[in-house]
Amino acid sequence: MEPSAAGLVQLLKLNLTKMGKTYGISIHSLQIMRISSILIFLQLFAVYLFAAHDTNAQLISIAADRASVREVFSQIEKQAKFTFSYQESTIKETPAITLYIKNKQLTEVLFELSRKTDLNFKQIGKVIAVTKIKKDGPQKENGLHLKPIKAVQDYEMISTQDTIRGKVINENGEPLIGASVAVKGTKTVAITGNDGGFVLPNTEKNATLIITYVGYESREVSANNTANVILNKKTSYLDEVQVIPYGTTTRRLNTGSVSSITSEEIENQPVSNPLATLAGRVPGIIVSENSGMPGSGFSIQIRGRNSLAQGSEPLYLIDGIPFSPGNINMNVITNSPSPFSISGQSPFYAINPTDIESIEILKDADALAIYGSRGANGVVMITTKKATVGKTSISANISSGVSHVVRMMDLMNTEQYLEMRREAFNNDGYDPDIFSAPDLLLWDTNRYTDYQKELIGGTARRTNAQLSVSGGTANTQVLFSGGYLKETNVFPGDLPNQRGNASINARHASSDQRFQLNLSTAYSYSENRSPATDLTYLTYLAPNTPSFYDDARNLQWELNGATFENPYTFLHRKFVAQTENFNSSLVASYQLFESLTIRTSMGYNTVIGNQIGVNPASAENPIYSPVNNTVFADNRFSGWTIEPQAEYTDNLWLGKLSILVGATLQSNTHDASSITASGFSNESLMESLGAASELTFPYSTNTQYRYGAAFGRINYNIADKYLINITGRRDGSSRFGPGKQFATFGAVGAAWIFSEEQWVKQAIPVLSYGKLRGSYGSTGNDQIGDYRYLDTWAPYERNYSNMATIYPLWLYNPSYGWEVNKKLEGALELSFFEERTLLSTAFFRNRSGNQLVNYSLPTQTGFMSINRNMPALIQNSGWELMLNTVNIRNSLLNWSSSFNITFAKNKLLEFPDLETSPYAYQYIIGQPLNLIYGFRSMGVDPETGVYQFLDVDGSETFNAADLTVNGNLDPKYYGGFRNTISIKGFEADVFFEFRKQIGLGHLGATYLQRQIPGTMYNQPSYMLDRWQQEGDLTEIEKFTTFDWNTGNTTSSDVLYEDASYLRLKNICIAYNFPKTITQKIKADNFRIYLQGQNLLTITNYSGIDPETRNPFWLPTLGTYTIGAQIIF
Amino acid sequence: MKKIINKIVHQILRVTSLLILPIIIYSSCSKFIQVDDPIGQIVTSTAFQDEQTATSAIMGIYSNLLVRSASIGSGGVTLYTGLTADELYYTGTDQGYIGFYNNTIHPNSGIISNDIWRFAYQYIYQTNACIAGLESSLLDLSVKNQLLGEVYTIRAFCYWYLVNLFGDVPLILDIEYQANSKAGRISSDVIYQQIVLDLETAYDLLDKEYHGYDRDRVNKWTAAAFLARVHLYLGNWQVAREYATEVIMQPQYRLEEDLNSVFRIESQEVIWRLVERTPNLRFTVESGKFIPSTLPNARPVLAIDHDLLDDFDPTDERLTNWTTSRTIFGVNYTYPFKFKYRTSALGQTEALTPFRLAELYLIRAEAQTNLGEYPEALEYLNMVRVRAGLNKLFSDDKPEILDFIIRERRIEFFAEWGHRWFDLKRTGKINEVLSKSKSNWTHTAALWPIPVSEIQRNPNLTQNPGYE
């Protein structure tokens, strides 16, 4: 029902004051948002003025004490610009009336008037026609046909009418606010109010009402059965709400490529990082865990590598607000003593997966262009849980579990190891001496320790507790949630990681639901005490390495004059990383007219990391004369965003038009600092900066990033059949120099839901849904780092001659600009058998040009590279396929499956003057970027026992002319397979991930790290299958201690092997107790579950983990947890 | 129809009125996205506008010279020319070092490409950037001149090592990366001309006094000492003698009587020292390499070649004070002991010393011998010998005196800044001497290879003979 303009103004006045109050609170509580609240007021003020000019906007007051109808008419005519038209005879018999009305809409006034008289009213333009109700009708004559004042055409007076009242609720008894109740066959529509109630005056008693509500199945009911109309939530996958940038749609009507996973899938996984939950579940995206250490980072790539050198990181948004650290390494302290230090802590560890409602991955230009220069590598949108209407609901969820390394390497025992060593010396023609072979000559050759078991063979424990309380009235809803997580390591010693988090979501709406305010605030604190160094690389110590402790339980560093690495040094050091995360977003919206809503979203996000690395002298080898020192480091990211928007939706011509315009202001800062403190009088004081007498190596950095843009989107939907979506954004980034800051990006997406065509329906009756969609557009990439266009000098951490020092940071080049990524997509979505089978196929082709690179330079220029654009063109293309099926669906058993697979190909299309460029030996036109370009192995020469390589040019020497393409490191295909089965109260969810790829093998890693078979490092026992004598045919070279003598091998394909795998990524088995039991404990639901992660891996890969593909990093752990959830 | 059009127009008006706000915001965007200059970074245009910051930029060069492990400023020349010449041998198995000792340096050597070449040109970039900055600055002339003088001296210092190690090298004198990235190798004569020009400019600009801590920074006499060395190498005996004499006449320099004091930071023999005064880094790169750890079986990584040991007079106090030895499993290793501390908790005690007075004595002696002034030449030679507890030498045979001087230089400057390697090269005796002591010696080994990675990035670079 369209509102009258008069009512609008009243509401507007009311809400301005109301909003002012509500707003006042938020201004005080969140000072950051002061600016944006001013903006909102400005916007509202403009609208207010605009609305006041609307001629229809008028409220009417009547004061009539036994007055004639004519007098009442005259009062109305004075206030509203309407004229009453009637014949004298009509009102002649009408008795005098008493009527007091204050500030009511005209329709209501007339309705009252009609009730008190025998008159009926009909509006025709500016004239209100007065007629007399016929006395001889079958019904009591008190009707006024209420019509929206704007639309008056074909009103016919009905006498078989009554006022129909009713209420619309959902399955849980919660009122559905804003549902539309239409009288079938007429244009009369009512909208439900705050309690779900509606009123339809003068409606035929036997009319049929059509009730519709977004996300619910529409229902037709008889007008005499409206007490509690229950609408069922749509179970249709296609009609589930789909979050898109600056709004929502449904999968059915989406024109872009958006994949998502829901809270159900997230909660079934016993993981602590939200990024982990994506692995294998979303087509087109590769998620890999860098290491199995708690809090470790994840690498993510959406639809391939778009950039030669600069970041291929997607944009991460939490409730629409950019997550300020992105996916970087949170650790400032990276100068750990070993080159194998952990890949860093993930900032996403600060986000509790349980708080997430859904994660959306945006992939094509249609979905991404609205993010302009930030969208080239895709967008990961995290939407947190929101409060819901209903009685107070309390949910508690506790789980506990264990993690361990699932797949250990089969390493040599001491006997095999020593045999390898002796044979290596023999092959080399050297006698082992005490310097090169303490393991053979100085140490106990009978000693054996399984260092895998000792160092990474532990069991990590995991405890997770979550509590949430939610509830609310139709106008105000609140959700509180809190959680606690504790995880330990598989390393020896007790090194707990803990995370606590709390969040509040509150939503308030004015009683007519036009003004809405939604505030989400989340805070988390985590403390990570994992050692700064991943101990996995030390599992390859010689198996007869002496004990790490001497008899007096002191750390031991040498035996018989030979020193060795002692892994326990890292356990006696201390590394504490504390991370605080605060996220807050506020969305305020106001529906000015039915067709126009203005909205402002504001967000603030800060992530603060404090790290301390305590290195007591007692934990270090005394030959290095260590001193007590502690590194203190801070890392702080913060950012705010303001996005005013206006959205206009109306019917236009044949379809529904929706226009969104908006602007973005975003500011991010990053500060980091560190200092090394020493001169502590006592090791127990080392965590106190104040106790240090010397401070050295001060380091600090501060960067600021600003981004501003205006964007728009036009969406036109004809009969839910033809859809077109045009998006555009003009934006500017502070990462570029003068004249290069602004650029325009845009995209067109279109969809045709051909299953809605009659002829298709007739031709293919089993087809319940079919959509053909496509998009084309451009996005940009500004991941170049801040200030790179400036000609700057930075302070060096050391002094010279009592003076501070500065040095030039980089070569000066102010004239680089955006990397432009043009994306093309075509997709076909089909659904058969009433949506029991859903197949979606997408083809994509992304071309990224104007590459921003760190162009390599000869170092005679003073630097190794310079930032510049290069006209190289990179293409990522591929197919994504997703199949969802409901295999069995009946009252007893539900079984559904979901399968996704992605075939992707990366290709360098253009690279002018590649041959003479510094990249000549790195890339080849027509080949993928992650190319394995090197010598081709011809196996081990049976005569010499060493690898021989293909001599391409027959020159008998190996140089650039002999390099060949030996495959590439991009997965050929990857995906996942999920089955969910529920039988009565039991549920089972089983998920497999698979990937077909080549990766750095274990042997390859040993070559690159100079730990080749024969040197003083343990090896997998399959290395025993090596060349020993002339004529041996084998894959493994003869053992050697000459670790430097690997020249051609390290540039060859020997390093790589098949690293494909099929992994049982996740199992969740749950049992929901029946109502009969839950009711006894007064609970709504009680559920116990068993979850497992990374339980089984099927692979031919020789190394410890085909996911990390690095033998020196802790593999992804297998986890089992058991838990219970109860909801009251 | 008219109604519909009216409606459209009406709604468009409504929408456009709301568009105004984003447009206003956006139009202020160009201002919004201007960020402040980064905190803690200085834009070149302001870096040279005040004395403090400009000095910091020059101190950044000194610091960088020191801090890069084993570059031309921090012991790299000492270690690697010690191996390629007949001073040191390597006891370990790292092929990178073995290549230097065997004079079969791989053109892919990371030591050459990274530690030596890359950092040398990084220092040169810093000097060029500072020169550009200083020349356009409005600093007080006296400050500007001193700083410019220091920078020119350091640039000469870098080129001097590059030209002596590699022969012809690219001559980069500004910060125009596009042209510089394509620059080919320039004849070593031209490089030498530039070195002389830079040093003469520096000599004119520099103050006589030291700025900052005593002798940490270059002064006029450093430039003079350097000019003496360069002219000696060029055979300009007269000029070499004059510059050497000028430095020798300065009262602030004197030979330390105690050999163990020569490299200490209070040494009066030092003309220019590079010293790390940051706490916790209290040792020189050289001592860290030469002195073995305290572990019972730790052997020296780099030990003194027997050929050199045999050249020491048994009574030479430098043998007892500047070398020491260790026997590991029956094998005796003698190693350089000019620096005494591998690590030290005693505070900074020792410093790298690119120029010290003893060199000027021997430069003057050599120049005067060539000029026929034998008695004076011998006088200065003998001052160095007497300090080492040796007898005085006398002769009036020029080749014999020259031989005395070269032998003296070998002992006095062993394992010090590449003197031996360069002396062998400049006297033309390298093939004669090293073909005797080194089994793999080839004539082309006198020049180190140009890094292959550099040739790949700049096709105009050529490789030295013997390394293609």
Nearest to A801 among B25, B212, B342 (CB): B212
If we measure between CA atoms, which residue out of A981, A1001, A979 comes closest to residue A990?
A979
**Does A527 have pLDDT greater than 60?**
yes
Mean per-residue pLDDT for A347-355?
90
Chain B residues lying within 8 Å of A801, measured CB to CB: 59, 62, 211-213, 216-217, 277
Q: Between chain A and chain B, how many beta carbons pairs sit less than 8 Å apart?
A: 290
Mean per-residue pLDDT for A1052-1069?
93
Mean per-residue pLDDT for A184-210?
79
pLDDT < 50: residue spans in chain B: none
Q: pLDDT for A392-441, tens place per residue?
A: 889 999 999 999 999 899 999 999 999 999 999 998 888 888 878 888 88
When comparing pLDDT for A955 and A602, which is higher?
A602
User: Within B236-392, where are the H helices?
Assistant: 237-248, 285-290, 306-311, 317-322, 357-370, 374-387
Contact A799 B96 (CB under 8 A): no
Mutation to test the B interface, candidates A560, A595, A801, most B Cβ within 10 Å: A801
A188 touches B at CB < 8 Å: no
Contact B33 A863 (CB under 8 A): no
pLDDT in the model for residue A154? 35
If we measure between CA atoms, which residue out of B134, B182, B191, B128 comes closest to residue B155?
B128
When comparing pLDDT for A181 and B55, which is higher?
B55
B29 touches A at CB < 8 Å: yes
**Does A177 have pLDDT greater than 80?**
no
Contact A858 B181 (CB under 8 A): yes
In angstroms, the CA A118 to CA A144 distance is: 10
When comparing pLDDT for A265 and A99, which is higher?
A265
Contact B29 A862 (CB under 8 A): no
B9 touches A at CB < 8 Å: no
Q: Is A103 exposed, middle or buried (0-12, 13-18, 19+ CB in 10 A)?
A: exposed
B36 touches A at CB < 8 Å: yes
Other Cβ atoms within 10 Å of B182 Cβ, number: 15
Q: pLDDT for A544-559, tens place per residue?
A: 988 888 888 888 888 8
Q: Where residue A1042 falls among pLDDT bands split at 50, 70, 90?
A: confident
Q: Is B433 exposed, middle or buried (0-12, 13-18, 19+ CB in 10 A)?
A: middle
Chain B residues lying within 8 Å of A808, measured CB to CB: 44, 125-126, 129
Residues 1013-1042 of chain A with CB under 8 A from chain B are 1041-1042
Mean per-residue pLDDT for A607-629?
85
pLDDT in the model for residue A89? 75
Span of A175-189, A266-280, A718-732 with lowest mean pLDDT: A175-189
A221 touches B at CB < 8 Å: no
Between the alpha carbon of residue A760 and those of residues A251, A588, A654, A826, B424, the distances in Å are 20, 43, 21, 20, 93
User: How many angstroms away from the CA of A1117 is the closest CA of chain B?
Assistant: 37
Helix (H, G, I), strand (E, B) or coil at A440: helix
Q: Where residue A20 falls among pLDDT bands split at 50, 70, 90?
A: very low
Other Cβ atoms within 10 Å of A748 Cβ, number: 18
Contact B34 A705 (CB under 8 A): no
Amino acid at A132: K
Contact B17 A50 (CB under 8 A): yes
**Does A36 have pLDDT greater than 80?**
no
A374 token code pair: 């930030």
B40 touches A at CB < 8 Å: yes
pLDDT in the model for residue B315? 93
Chain B residues lying within 8 Å of A692, measured CB to CB: none
pLDDT in the model for residue A21? 40
In angstroms, the CA B391 to CA B385 distance is: 7
Chain B residues lying within 8 Å of A560, measured CB to CB: 297
Mean per-residue pLDDT for A1039-1051?
78
When comparing pLDDT for B24 and A10, which is higher?
B24
pLDDT in the model for residue A140? 38
Q: Return the bridge partners of A170, or none.
A: A231
Q: Where residue A39 falls among pLDDT bands split at 50, 70, 90?
A: very low
In angstroms, the CA A1056 to CA A1003 distance is: 8
Contact A976, A900 (CB under 8 A): yes
Residues 399-458 of chain B with CB under 8 A from chain A are 454, 456-458
User: How many angstroms away from the CA of B430 is the closest CA of chain A?
Assistant: 29
Amino acid at A126: K
Q: Where residue A6 falls among pLDDT bands split at 50, 70, 90?
A: very low
Measured between CA atoms, the residue of chain B closest to residue A792 is B43
∠ CA A445-A447-A448, rounded to 5° = 120
In angstroms, the CA A119 to CA A132 distance is: 5
Contact B93 A652 (CB under 8 A): no
Backbone angles phi, psi at A366, to 5 degrees: -60, -40
User: How many angstroms away from the CA of B379 is the closest CA of chain A?
Assistant: 36
Mean per-residue pLDDT for A1019-1026?
92
Residues 837-896 of chain A with CB under 8 A from chain B are 856-864, 866
pLDDT in the model for residue B280? 58
pLDDT in the model for residue B17? 58
User: How many angstroms away from the CA of A369 is the closest CA of chain B?
Assistant: 17
pLDDT in the model for residue B163? 97
A732 touches B at CB < 8 Å: yes
B170 touches A at CB < 8 Å: yes
A951 token code pair: 């001599």
Name all contacts of A284-289 with Cβ < 8 Å and 24+ positions apart: A284/A257, A284/A259, A284/A361, A284/A363, A284/A842, A284/A844, A284/A878, A284/A880, A284/A902, A284/A904, A285/A259, A285/A361, A285/A363, A285/A378, A286/A971, A286/A974, A286/A995, A288/A1107, A288/A1108, A289/A1107, A289/A1108, A289/A1116
Q: pLDDT for A665-689, tens place per residue?
A: 999 999 988 888 888 888 888 888 8
B273 touches A at CB < 8 Å: no
pLDDT in the model for residue A793? 87
pLDDT in the model for residue A124? 64
pLDDT in the model for residue A410? 92
User: How many angstroms away from the CA of A268 is the closest CA of chain B?
Assistant: 42
Contact A1026, A946 (CB under 8 A): no
pLDDT in the model for residue A114? 78
- DSSP strand E in A787-920: where? 792-800, 803-808, 819-832, 837-849, 851-856, 865-870, 873-889, 893-910
pLDDT in the model for residue B381? 96
Nearest to B38 among A650, A662, A703 (CB): A703
Mutation to test the B interface, candidates A624, A669, A859, A914, most B Cβ within 10 Å: A859
Rg of chain B taking only CA atoms, in angstroms: 28
pLDDT in the model for residue A25? 35
Mean per-residue pLDDT for A137-147?
40
Q: Where residue A786 falls among pLDDT bands split at 50, 70, 90?
A: confident
User: How many angstroms away from the CA of B76 is the closest CA of chain A?
Assistant: 18
pLDDT in the model for residue A71? 83
A616 token code pair: 């007591």
Between the alpha carbon of residue A485 and those of residues A28, A262, A1088, the distances in Å are 32, 21, 18
Percent of chain A with pLDDT strictly greater than 70: 90
DSSP A27-83: HHH-GGGHHHHHHHHHHHHHHHHHHHT-TT---EEEEEEEE-HHHHHHHHHHHSS-E
Contact B43 A791 (CB under 8 A): yes
Q: Where residue A1044 falls among pLDDT bands split at 50, 70, 90?
A: low
B448 token code pair: 């180190």
Contact A678 B279 (CB under 8 A): yes
Chain B residues lying within 8 Å of A803, measured CB to CB: 55-56, 59, 212
Contact A678 B280 (CB under 8 A): yes
pLDDT in the model for residue A1021? 92
Nearest to A861 among B64, B180, B297 (CB): B180
Q: pLDDT for A840-891, tens place per residue?
A: 999 999 999 888 887 888 999 999 888 888 888 999 999 999 999 999 888 7
Q: pLDDT for A1079-1100, tens place per residue?
A: 888 888 899 999 999 999 999 9
pLDDT in the model for residue B279? 63
